[in-house]
Structure 1
Amino acid sequence: MTIPFNNTASSRFLHGFTDLATLEKNGPVVVTQGEGIYVQDTTGKRYLDANSGLWNAVAGFDHPELIETMVAQTRKFPTYHAFFGRVPEPAVALADKLIEVSPFDRGKVYFTNSGSEANDTMVKMLWMLNRARGKPERRKIVTRVNSYHGVTVATASMTGKAYNGHFGLPLPDFLHADCPHYWRYGEAGESEGDFTARMARNLEDLIHREGPDTIAGFFAEPVMGAGGVIPPSKGYFEAIRPILRKYDIPLIADEVICGFGRTGEMWGSDTYRMEPDAIIASKCITAGYFPMGAILLSGPLADDIMDVSRTIEEFPHGFTAGAHPVGCAVALKAIDLIRNGGLLDNVRRVAPQFNAHLARLAKHPNIGEARGIGLMGALELVADKALKTPLPADLQVSERLANEALRNGLIVRPLGASIVLAPPFISRNEDIDAIFQLLESSLDNVLAKV
């Protein structure tokens, strides 16, 4: 069925995270198919998707091996659960593979349907663990301002975004430490090293104020993705890790966006020397071809969870489609393509050119900061470069820029005052050039009007 491209095309569809004024004016882009790094709408127009769908379609939109794997597993065994001691064969193989490629020498894996569910499950694990230890008051979860961890009630409480106030969140016991964004929050005359030291001091002060024996865990993205691609300040994780260890607070790496190659390493944890106690994974785990999330528990943390579960005869938690056989088979193929099929190698090959374009645009008078690593980057728009003054919010410049890019056949993402880029891992150097050529043309057109 062909759906016309107009503002009535999705009158019954409720859009999330969508600027409604734009939607009501232009209507949705109803996407019908994809080829490589391009998608196509119902009018036949093609768009270069410079955001890999939603960070996750790293192998493009029609990868034959992923499709063949999905079809073959569907024919062999299309659905099952992982309750009551039964488990699909691909889930066992995937758990083994994930620990093999993780920073952990041993551990366990728990499967969910999304990153939100994985983070939510990890919170429940920590709460369960501390109650069993006789420390039920140890349940506060610390994340960071501008972080993103999901949309369930718990993970929205973890997410350090103001929009969650519309839901009456965060819930009690969810705390937000400083955002380690040196360009935005560094003080006058403060070096990056001094800024990192202040972030560490402030975190320890927060722990003291709340009470170390009330904190269950600290969750952090290696790079804040939905915060606007914000890498941590230099030495950040090396500075805070000893503090967390001092107070026996687990560090959970939210690798939903960074994991499986986005930063140029298999894990963002490796890129930034996080040394986490657990890893949350999703998105690229299946290259976006199947909904899946996973919790990778380090050996010691896995031992603790198992000990507690034995005392009550089970781990009383689960999702009907967690460890889905088709998803697990696809994930095994996606991980193989990333590690052995050239995808991670290609990230490393084209990332220098991607980041060179970002660095060049940093000289633009209305780009306050161009930041990125691997194949993830952002351009933050400002009115005054020296003072870092944002453009007036009512101008909606990033939204207008994203809409102009869309008209020009390029998909980018507006995030606050920033434009975010996260191209698929299969992108070639000429694709990177095309992305920035279209983006710069769109930028010039929008700024000429404002």
Structure 2
Amino acid sequence: MPAPIKNNVSAFLHPFSHMPTLAESGPVVIDHGRGIYVFDEQGRKYLEGNSGLWNVVLGFDNPALVAAAREAYAKLPAYHAFFGRVARAGLDLAQRLVDMAPMPADRVFFANSGSEANDSVVKMLWLMAEAEGQPQRKTILTRWNSYHGTTVMTASLTGKAYNQAFGLPLAQVKYVMNPHHWREGRPGESELEFSARCAADLEARITELGADTIAGFFAEPVMGAGGVVPPPEGYFQAIQPVLRRHGIPLVADEVICGFGRTGERWGSITYGMTPDIVVASKVITAGFFPMGAVILSPEITARVEAASAKYDEFPHGFTTGAHPVGCAIAMAVLDQIEQGGILKHIQAVSPLFQRRLKALADHPMVGEARGIGLMGALEIVADKPTKQAFPGQWDVSEKIAGVALKHGLIVRPLGSAVVLAPPFIITEAEIDELFSILERTLDEVHASVMKLAA
């Protein structure tokens, strides 16, 4: 691991960072980036195997995005979208998102992050329920192991135990089954059978709570921060009829999957989802500007507008939502993905990425190698037949991330998994480089944990 840098490090509170590693080695201070690589202050080079945080997908020095930002800053460096005033770039981007949505859509609301966008959706659902004479319709359904953000509400939607540290979840949030077939499936249960059981669990939960108390259901097409967990076969085809039958809107959290990560424009397309609301962020600006977007179906738009009429306005918004510079950057990003050949490039290189990923299933420490498009994860286990993880105090996934870093590769540890989500511009040669480093890393860490186990 790089030696700690002593100046200024004590003033910074690191989010979602492994504290023992920080205490031992200090932070890696990133200085600049070129293509899919970043460089620290000592000049060491790292292949960014997670696109930063899923988002810097077009390179860390993309000249077209820099130029779009520079031009936008020179023209109108800041404005809001309150009181009927908005920059032209906001209108243009909204129309573009409506046109490319995975379902019929007609309105877009802008926030500054995926967390804010998901939080905004909950307020919209509650606004509609209140106005429609159903104030009891406050329950939000989500899934164990999902991730939807870090605000108080979206941390509640995130089905992970660590949010208990904040006294969460809020009472209005309820969970249904984690759709991870490898982890949750019964012996001999096929993916289709498991999907049917997930749908039955959803039906039972709705019956238990009362359909007239439920405002909406949130789902990522692929669980991202849950460890890149694609849905089992037939999953959304099984649960969507349940939601429709009970009049419960489906919210597709496309923060990670949206704009190409799964190999399609949307994860919803990949997995046959027809959402009522789509939430996008991350890739929308390729990490060059904070932005989140909520895309509404015509039915939801009509209901939100009818509910807002009581107040003569939609009573919600963010100062920097629809920021003119962010919207200009987003337009340039979508130009590259849609017209610039990036989506076709993802489709061309993804088969190699998935072949190299799935080949690691044979490694003695890998219980499952899973993924789709340019995203994947390795589930690290101590025993393959029982799927037993290594003792938590061994920090094996952290060790893998640390050794990979030493060899010039950034990967993300997530519980007992190691996650990959490289930039969309990665080449086949760079994919081979990534997996060569990762294979070497796994062998090194395996040798060290075998010594611990001896």
Normalising by structure 1, report the TM-score: 0.98
**Counterpart Cα distance in 1 of 2:170 and 2:284:** 30
Deviation at 1:99, TM superposition (A): 0.5
* AA at the equivalent of 1:442: T
Alpha carbons 1:56, 1:288 under 8 Å: kept: yes
**Counterpart Cα distance in 1 of 2:140 and 2:19:** 33
What is aligned with 1:275?
274
RMSD between superposed Cα atoms in Å: 1.1
Alpha carbons 1:9, 1:28 under 8 Å: kept: no
Alpha carbons 1:413, 1:421 under 8 Å: kept: yes
User: Deviation per CA, 1:256-276, whole angstroms, max 9, x where unpaired?
Assistant: 000000000000000001100
Deviation at 1:10, TM superposition (A): 1.3
What is aligned with 2:357?
358
What is aligned with 1:186?
185
Out of 95-104 and 248-257, give the one that drifted further: 95-104
What is aligned with 1:421?
420
What is aligned with 1:338?
337
What is aligned with 1:173?
172
- Residues 1:145 and 2:144 aligned together: yes
Name stretches of at least 5 consecutive residues in structure 1 with no aligned partner: none
Alpha carbons 1:7, 1:28 under 8 Å: kept: no
* AA at the equivalent of 2:154: T
* AA at the equivalent of 2:165: H
Instruction: Tell me which stretches of 4 or more aligned residues in structure 1 moved more than 6 Å.
Output: none
Alpha carbons 2:255, 2:280 under 8 Å: kept: yes
**Counterpart Cα distance in 2 of 1:385 and 1:38:** 34
**Counterpart Cα distance in 2 of 1:278 and 1:334:** 22
| Secondary structure, aligned partner of 1:372 | strand
What is aligned with 1:33?
32
User: Deviation per CA, 1:288-323, whole angstroms, max 9, x where unpaired?
Assistant: 100000000011111111111122200111100000
What is aligned with 2:226?
227
**Counterpart Cα distance in 1 of 2:289 and 2:52:** 13
Alpha carbons 2:50, 2:420 under 8 Å: kept: yes
Alpha carbons 1:5, 1:30 under 8 Å: kept: no
Deviation at 1:364, TM superposition (A): 1.3
Deviation at 1:440, TM superposition (A): 0.9
* AA at the equivalent of 1:360: A
Out of 347-356 and 183-192, give the one that drifted further: 183-192
User: Deviation per CA, 1:66-101, whole angstroms, max 9, x where unpaired?
Assistant: 000000010011100000000011000000000111
Alpha carbons 1:229, 1:378 under 8 Å: kept: yes
**Counterpart Cα distance in 2 of 1:61 and 1:106:** 32
Alpha carbons 1:255, 1:267 under 8 Å: kept: yes
Deviation at 1:6, TM superposition (A): 2.7
**Counterpart Cα distance in 2 of 1:106 and 1:254:** 15
- Residues 1:327 and 2:365 aligned together: no
Q: What number of residue pairs does the alignment pair up?
A: 448
Identical amino acids, percent of aligned pairs? 56
Deviation at 1:173, TM superposition (A): 1.1
What is aligned with 1:51?
50
**Counterpart Cα distance in 2 of 1:120 and 1:379:** 30
Shift of the 9–400 alpha-carbon distance from structure 1 to 2, 3 Å rule, reads farther
Deviation at 1:193, TM superposition (A): 1.3
User: Deviation per CA, 1:76-127, whole angstroms, max 9, x where unpaired?
Assistant: 1110000000001100000000011112333100000000000000000000
1:240-389 alignment runs, 5 A limit: 240-389=239-388
Normalising by structure 2, report the TM-score: 0.97
* AA at the equivalent of 1:290: F
Deviation at 1:5, TM superposition (A): 4.1
Deviation at 1:191, TM superposition (A): 1.6
Alpha carbons 2:280, 2:294 under 8 Å: kept: yes
| Secondary structure, aligned partner of 1:119 | helix
What is aligned with 2:452?
none
* AA at the equivalent of 1:96: Q
Alpha carbons 1:238, 1:273 under 8 Å: kept: yes
Deviation at 1:446, TM superposition (A): 1.0
* AA at the equivalent of 2:234: G
Name stretches of at least 5 consecutive residues in structure 2 with no aligned partner: 450-454
Alpha carbons 2:103, 2:274 under 8 Å: kept: no
Deviation at 1:8, TM superposition (A): 5.5
| Secondary structure, aligned partner of 1:362 | helix
Alpha carbons 2:31, 2:39 under 8 Å: kept: yes
* AA at the equivalent of 2:26: G
**Counterpart Cα distance in 2 of 1:150 and 1:21:** 24
User: Deviation per CA, 1:213-249, whole angstroms, max 9, x where unpaired?
Assistant: 0000000000000000000110000000000000000
* AA at the equivalent of 1:17: F
**Counterpart Cα distance in 1 of 2:309 and 2:87:** 23
What is aligned with 2:96?
97
**Counterpart Cα distance in 2 of 1:191 and 1:350:** 29
Alpha carbons 1:376, 1:422 under 8 Å: kept: yes
**Counterpart Cα distance in 1 of 2:13 and 2:50:** 22
Deviation at 1:183, TM superposition (A): 0.5
| Secondary structure, aligned partner of 1:216 | strand
* AA at the equivalent of 1:60: G
**Counterpart Cα distance in 1 of 2:429 and 2:220:** 30
What is aligned with 1:109?
108
**Counterpart Cα distance in 2 of 1:376 and 1:50:** 10
What is aligned with 2:11?
12
Deviation at 1:207, TM superposition (A): 0.3
* AA at the equivalent of 1:351: S
* AA at the equivalent of 1:420: V
| Secondary structure, aligned partner of 1:377 | strand
**Counterpart Cα distance in 2 of 1:73 and 1:9:** 33
* AA at the equivalent of 1:402: A
**Counterpart Cα distance in 1 of 2:27 and 2:267:** 34
| Secondary structure, aligned partner of 2:353 | helix
Out of 337-346 and 200-209, give the one that drifted further: 337-346
**Counterpart Cα distance in 2 of 1:213 and 1:398:** 43
* AA at the equivalent of 2:158: T
**Counterpart Cα distance in 2 of 1:10 and 1:241:** 48
Alpha carbons 1:8, 1:27 under 8 Å: kept: no
